[in-house]
Every structure is written in C-alpha cells, then in structure tokens.
A and B are shown apart, each in its own frame.
Chain A
Amino acid sequence: MEYDLEKNYVLELLDRAIRMHQHINAIETEFYRGGVVAQANSLDNAPEFLESFRHATHEVIASCSKLLKKLRNNPTSSDAMTIFKVTQSGLMLLKEMHEIGLANLPRPAVPIELSRFTRIIGEHVFKEPTLKIALYVSENVTETAFASDPLGKIRSSHLKNFLDFVNSFELLPDEENHQVKNENSIDITIPRIDIHCPMTWPTLFHEAAHSLLTTELRGKQTFVERIKEKIGNSLFAHLETLNVNLESWATEVWCDLFGAYVIGPSFFFSQYYSFIAVPPLNGGLHKDHPPACLRLKLIKAFLGHRNPIIKNEKLSRIIDSHIKLVQKIDEHHIGNPNQKTGLRIFSDVMRFQFRVTFFTGTEPEATTFQEKFRSMVDVVNQIETERLFLIYEELKEGLPAPSIRVTEDYTHEKPTSVQEVLLASCYLREDYLLPKLDNLLTTETIGNESIVEQLVNVYDKVDETVLRSLQLSEWLFMFDQKPQDLSLTNIPNVDSIKTNITPLLSDREIYSLLKSGELRVTPLVNLKQQLGSSSLDLRLGTSFEIFLPNNRHPLGEDFRDLEHYHSKRIDLDFLEHIVLLPGEFMLAHSFEYLSLPNWLAGELDGRSTYARLGLEIHMTAGMIDPGFEGTTTFELFNGGPNSIRLFPGLRVAQLRFRSVNPPEFPYSSKMNAKYRGRLQHHRSLYKEDDDYKSIYKEIKKRENKSR
C-alpha cells in the first residue's frame, strides 16, 4: 500500500528543517564568519551556540531520512500512523526552535527582493506609493505572528501613558505637549526563516489585506450582519453552534480570497506552506481561524473560476494532494468537516457571498472594488501554462528567469511578472525540489554532514535563482520592446561558424548563435539595442561589492591577515543607483547570464560611452573561457576625476566572440572552475587556487617547525 500523504508530510518536515539549517548558515555568515558585522563584532562563543542549533536540525533531517526509508519498505498502517505522529512532533520541535531558540540569535538582513515585494504591495495593491509598508520579521510562526505592528501596542498604551503623565505636569511654561505620533503605515509580519524563501511570500498579501479591509471597502455592515441578513435566522443558528468568532473567521477567508485574487495561484501554495508548518493545537475548532483544509478548499474553488491554469493536470494533482494532507491533519482535531452542518454553511456562504459582493459581482459596489485592483488581477489572468512551464524549466536549470522567450528562437524575451515567477517557483518546489530530497535521502546515508550541506546548497541555489528573477524583471519592463527586424541578411548556420575558426564574430554570426540557443544570453529583451557590428552589449547588474580599508588588520602584518579583506555587498532596488568615486574600485556583474558553447570564447570590454567618463570594466581579466556559464564579473574602476553614477541595466560593457577549436577541458567541465554558474559577482577566490594553497601550506609548516 502506498502512503503518499505520510511521505509528503515527512517531506514537508524535511523542507522546514532544511530551511532552519539554511537560516542558521545565514546567521553565521552575516554575524560570525566573513561579513562586515562579523568582523566588527567577533563573538567567540557564538559559533558553538549555533552548532547546537545545527545539530538539532541535522537530527531532524537524519530522522526524516529514516522515516522515508521506512515508508518505502512496505510499512503497516500502524507504522504509517506512527510516522504521521512523529512528523507532527518534528514540526512542533522546529516551531519551538523558531519561536524560542531564534529569539536568542541575531536576525539576518532582509533581502532586497523582499523589500521590493512589499513595495509592490504598497504601489499596486494599496495604490499609494507614499504609503509606508512596515515589514516586521518575527520569531513567531503561527498566524498570531501576523498581528499588526508589534510596536503599536507600545505606542498606543505605554508611550501614551508616559506622555500623558509628562504632559500632566507643566514642566516648562510655553512648551508644547508631546503626543504619540500616528504612523501611516501598513504592517506586515513574516516569520524569520521565510525571509529568503520567496515561495512563502504571497501569504503577505493576506496580511496586507487585513489592513485594507476598512469600512470603506467592506461597507457599514460587519460580515456577520451581512451573512445573517442573507441566510436568515434558522441557517444562521447552525453557524452559531460552531461557537467561534464568526467575524474573525469571515475576515480570514476574505483576506485569503483577496490574496488569491491579486497574486494568483501561488497564494494557494504559500498558505499551504504556512498551514503545514504549524501542527494544529489540541482538539476542536480554532476560535479565530477557520480550519486550514476549509480555507484551502475555498481558495482552490475561487481560483478555479478565475485562473483556469490551476486545472492543469500537473498543478491540480499537487493542489489536491495538499488539500488531502491538510484535511487529514485537521480531521484528527475536528473530525470530518463536511459532516458539520455549520461548516458546510460557512463554506457555502463564503464562496457565494464574497464572490458576488466583491470579486465577480456586477453591483456598483463590487465593480468599484474590482476596478481598484484591476491592474494586479490583469497580470494574474495573463499567466499562461506554456510560459509558466518555460519559467519552471529555466529555474530548474539554475538560470534566472526575469524574462522568458516569446518565440521559438532565443532572440527575444518578455519580462516575467512576479505572479508568474512565484507560481513557477512553487511548482519547482513541488515537482523538483521535494522529489530530489526524497531521492537523495532514500538513497544516501545521512551519516555525515556533507549530505545535509548538499541539500542546503540545492535550496540556496533555487532561492537565489528565484530571487534574482524577481529582482531583475522590474528593470526589464523599461527596456522591453516588441521584436524588431534587425535587417540581417546572409545569416550563416551554426555549423559553418563552428567549423570556420573566426577571430571575431560579426553581428550575423552572433545573431545566428543566439537564435539557435547555442549561445545563451538571458535576459535579452532588446537585441536591436544590444547587438553591435561585432559585439553584444552587456548591462550592469544589481549587486556590487565595495572594498574597505582594513584598519584593524593592516595587510602585511601577518600572512593570515589576508583573510580580513574587508568588503561590503550592496544590492540595489529598482531605480536605485550607486556612485563610483574617482579612484574607487568595486566588483559588479553583468545583468545577463551567459552560457557559451565549448568552442566559443568571449572577450569583455567597456563601451566607449562610459570609457569617456573614466570607467573601466575589468582589471586585465577580460577573457571568458569557452564553455563558461554564469554572470560575468565586472571589476569596475573610476579612472576619471569625477564620480560616476551607475544604474543597473545600463549598457556599460560589450562582449566580443571568437570561435576556437573545442578545448579538451572547457571551463564548466573543470572541477576547479570557481566562478561557474554564479548569478552575481563573487569575491576573489584566490585562496582556492592550488598554487596559493601550496604556498600557504609551506608557510604553516615552517611556522609549526619554528615553534
């Protein structure tokens, strides 16, 4: 007998444990190893504390491996039931680690992509660019994490009491009284281990919806008053038998449907992730939140009417399986929800009443509501199955997908929307990430930590790819143009370019390679602009590394001080810029991800337009090896007398190509290819060079001898 639900549940626990492990790594990197903060505050005992966390997650991961193996090995139904309970207990452990343990550890920085995401909520949902969206990172993982501004209570009670007290005295004549400042902000809270996990972000729309649901939008009547008026007393009496806070239940559902309305099907998945991560408390219905399975079914039904894409066989199979799992978990606590008349009525009323009153109705109130969110909803409605799976394929290959090709060839791409990328990333988790975990853990022995780190690396790579896609796409909308005729004639075929060794490829040849996909450059939204006579322009990427003088450990004092090479990474948000001062050096990267065939080499150079300002693009390292894959690093230097303002997306560099006889060992095939597949620049990895290692080893050996 197959126990798919149990297996899926174990995989969810595993997923959560890896996320915790990933978070601990992020804390270590930022605060205790390598980061600027770490170098300023070296807390020697902290890594040991982190180790105990890491050990706990390692134990959970190793246990998951055992559970998965057991499930593959003809378990009895009693085994399956025990595995279900063990999984719940594991999730409870992780919840406690998050809520109690993490409170004792510093919080890593919020990635720029999450700031962007909250900005989108402000600009496109609330339609108020000036509105401040306050994002709070929380140790809490249950839905109480999302209770408004955590400082609000302090402002509204303690600070108010304090100021009232101060104001009650006339300390100084003619002084104005101090008042509590009213914050015009929308508060959103996110559990801290989700800050780097974009698949969970759509849930933030639910949180934002709580702030949106003002009297203006809802009308004067409460939800409960509306329901009672609509269904009459006798049916309403069934709802009252549930003995819950119906207004709160209805509000939760409204916020769910709103989230699904503006962000689309990825909302279903993100809500599922948040429900599954927290096992329900002891028996009975929650006072303020409807059962998770009922909410997921309502979201599914709602999406089903609006977004036919969820009826796609692959997606609907996953959605149904998630609902079944959540229902099984809920049934342990509340029994079969369909057999409770009150729950049936609640579900029916929510589906019908909210749909008509807000989301699809034709009454003036409803159309005003729909008009307000039309721009977001239009984007959701444009998600197409074919595009979705193309994005998925790109992400799966570790390629960012800020844009996706619109034609059969690769010479024109359209920017992707946040909604598309998030849905593709959710599908990636379900169809690629979790099965990969299952496969790895049931075939490998979790005896050593390298397997765990391998799993974490898989997650890191997926997250980074999705985050880069989200970050870059916003810029692309500015450069996007309809496919233009390049008026190129006599375009040679790939084979002829390959066989005729050419020192410098022309526009015809570059075009041919791009069109066939032999040379991949992504994103490519405006080829006419980027293609020169014998070059392809590259844009400036979004991340920069600024190097700082290291005053604590001057170079040369000790060989080991080379470790303390101070630098600070800056990620720019949309329309932000960075200034390169005269004589300043920094690392940056190309906006484009390149993939060169093993018979094509690239030569990087600056563009004359920027060279005239004094900008250098590389520090004598302009050669790109055949078979290279990744973004290319720019070593920027300002050799002019004035500062240069740089925006991501500017075409600052160009790439020339030459065909070569295929080398025996193309770049990407080399085990020591340090910069392969990078989505952004990387600091120098000189310490990984064999010659450096040899020298260092020899010095160490002599030091030890002299002692």
Chain B
Amino acid sequence: MKIKIKEIFGEELLDGELIRRQLQNLPQIINKKIIIDYSECVMEYDATGVITDYIFDRFSVAKSTPELIIIYDLDYPEEYLLSFLFSETKFLGEDTAHISNEKRKELLNKKLGECNGKVIIRIQDSSTKNVIRDYIYGI
C-alpha cells in the first residue's frame, strides 16, 4: 500500500494540529507493508510525527508486524531525516526532540525490536526514481 503524502496533506507539513485534523483523509491501513512517499514535501517533526504515530497505531490495532518504507527525494544527512520523522513521536517516547542522533537511532531500533517491525528510509531521485540510498532500522 502506497500513500503519497503530498496528494493528501499538501506539500507543507509544518503544522501538527492541522495534520491531526486531517488524519481521516488517510486511506484505511490494512496492509502489513506500507510505503509513505514524502517527496516534494517540506517536513517538520511536529507534523510528520503525527503521521508516523498514526501509522504505528494502525499497525498495532491490526496486530500486524509493521514494515514501513518512507520515501523522500532529498538526500539529507540521516540525523535530519530521523529528526523530521521520529522526534517527539509517541512511538519513540516523550522528549525525543532534544536527544542526540545516536540516541534516537538506538531508541528507534529498540522500539522496532519490541514489535518485530522494520523501517526503511529510502532516498529516491525525484526524476529517475532511482534509489540513492536506504537507511534500515529494526530487524
């Protein structure tokens, strides 16, 4: 199942409250494997974290093993991506905005380990769609 975020929430993901109010626009998540495409979006953890939490909640309700592929089109350093996608999420726990990247990575692996989950952050060229690199977490 692939969700193109720009088509649902627009290109600007800066306002967590706004995204929270629009979560019902996301399609029903029934698959084990979900691909979320954030290409062409401006991301900020306040907003993207809401989506991350929502998806992990759905996984939990469906009692399925989460496998999440997150696609992005800009080859940012890993610490940017992890911060934008996982800071302050309920999934990682409280106050994860101010921790170091190493700590955040460690926490993500630990949480995914607890639910046998897997997350791949895939950097993909916007025009050729070639994969530039994958960051893999969990099993």
Contacts and interface: CB of A to CB of B under 8 A. Distances in A.
Contact of B97 (A305, A339, A348): A305
Contacts of B108: none
Given A300-B14, A301-B46, A305-B46, A352 B97 contact: no
A352 B46 contact: no
B63 interface: no
Contact of A311 (B17, B42, B84, B99): B17
A297 interface: yes
B83 interface: yes
Contact of A352 (B16, B17, B75, B83): B83
A341 B14 CA distance: 17
A699 to B, nearest CB: 69
Interface stretch (A231-239, A413-421, A484-492, A581-589): A231-239
Contacts of B77: 230-232
Contact of B15 (A304, A341, A345): A304
Contacts of B84: 348, 352
Given A304-B15, A304-B46, A352 B98 contact: no
B94 to A, nearest CB: 14
B44 A344 contact: no
B135 interface: no
Contact of B12 (A235, A338, A345): A338
Interface in A127-170: none
B76 A231 contact: yes
Interface of B: 11-12, 14-18, 40, 42-44, 46, 74-77, 79-80, 83-84, 97-100
Contacts, number: 57
Contact of B75 (A235, A301, A360): A235
A311 B11 CA distance: 21
The 4 closest A-B pairs by CB, nearest first: A338-B11, A352-B80, A360-B98, A301-B14
A361 B79 CA distance: 13
Nearest to B99: A362
Best-surrounded residue of B15, B17, B43 (most CB of chain A within 10 A)? B15
Nearest to A298: B14
A524 B17 CA distance: 38
A360 B83 CA distance: 13
Interface string A212-256: 000000000000000000111011000000000000000000000
A569 B16 CA distance: 51
A348 B15 contact: no
Given A347-B42, A348-B43, A362-B100, A304 B16 contact: yes
Contacts of B46: 301, 304-305
A361 B103 CA distance: 13
A365 interface: no
20 contacts: A230-B77, A231-B76, A232-B77, A235-B75, A300-B14, A301-B14, A301-B46, A304-B14, A304-B16, A304-B46, A305-B97, A316-B15, A338-B11, A338-B40, A341-B74, A347-B42, A348-B43, A352-B83, A356-B79, A356-B83
A348 B81 CA distance: 10
A59 interface: no
B95 to A, nearest CB: 11
Contacts of A674: none
Contacts of B74: 235, 341, 344-345, 348
Given A300-B14, A305-B97, A338-B12, A348 B75 contact: no
A362 B98 contact: yes
Contacts of B80: 348, 352
- Please report whether the interface of chain A is mostly helix, strand, loop or mixed according to DSSP: helix
A698 interface: no
A237 B76 CA distance: 13
Contacts of A409: none
Contact of A344 (B16, B42, B83): B42
Given A300-B14, A301-B44, A362-B99, 20 more contacts: A232-B77, A235-B75, A301-B14, A301-B46, A304-B16, A305-B46, A316-B15, A320-B15, A338-B40, A339-B11, A344-B74, A347-B42, A348-B80, A352-B80, A352-B84, A356-B79, A356-B83, A360-B97, A361-B98, A362-B100
A594 B18 CA distance: 44
A101 to B, nearest CB: 40
A28 B99 CA distance: 58
Best-surrounded residue of A234, A305, A320, A362 (most CB of chain B within 10 A)? A305
Contacts of B17: 311, 316
Interface in A310-357: 311, 316, 320, 338-339, 341, 344-345, 347-348, 351-352, 356
Contacts of A230: 77
Contacts of A338: 11-12, 40, 42
Contacts of A345: 74
A232 B98 contact: no
A326 B17 CA distance: 21
A362 B16 CA distance: 24
Contacts of A311: 16-17
B42 to A, nearest CB: 6
Given A347-B42, A348-B80, A362-B100, A234 B75 contact: yes
B48 to A, nearest CB: 12
Contacts of A362: 98-100
Nearest to A313: B17
Contacts of A235: 74-76
A351 B44 contact: yes
Given A338-B42, A345-B74, A348-B80, A297 B14 contact: yes
A232 B14 contact: no
Contacts of B98: 360-362
Contacts of A301: 14, 44, 46
Nearest to A234: B75
A206 to B, nearest CB: 21
B93 to A, nearest CB: 16
